[in-house]
Amino acid sequence: MFADARHSGDRWFTVLYRPAAPGTGARLGLAVARKRVRKASARNRIKRLVRESFRHHRRQLGDVDVVVLVKPGIEATANRTLFKALERHWRRIAEDLS
């Protein structure tokens, strides 16, 4: 996945993606490392938020494999801010792959 992936990044996330086989739909992978987010509750909150955002935008993405990596300092950021950041990533991916 990482070898031939395209990427989209900002202050909180690095999103790696590549086209998937036709008919597979959009698939999500998460990498929320303990090194980046110390508390398990914060890691779980971020993972829930990413999954929820992905679920809302899955249809517009088409057939794509996505891996979301987090950056340090993300645990202090509000959910609304993170949701908007992810929305921008999903839009970039959809535009790039269309």
**Is 10 a member of any domain?**
yes
Domain span at residue 33?
Answer: 6-97
**Is 31 a member of any domain?**
yes
Return the beta strands (E) in the chain as ranges.
6-9, 13-19, 27-31, 64-70
Q: Which two tokens stand for residue 60?
A: 């517009």
How far CA 3 is from CA of 7, 41, 68, in Å, comes to 11, 31, 15
Integer Cα distance of 74 and 53 in angstroms? 16
**Is 76 a member of any domain?**
yes
| Residue 64: band (very low, low, confident or very high) from pLDDT cuts 50, 70, 90 | very high
Per-residue pLDDT at 45 exceeds 70: yes
Asked whether the whole model's pTM tops 0.85, one would answer yes
**Is 60 a member of any domain?**
yes
Who has greater pLDDT, 18 or 3? 18
**Is 49 a member of any domain?**
yes
**Is 1 a member of any domain?**
no
**Is 69 a member of any domain?**
yes
The reported pLDDT for the residue numbered 89 is 97
CATH code for the domain of 17:
3.30.230.10
User: How many structural domains compose the chain?
Assistant: 1
**Is 72 a member of any domain?**
yes
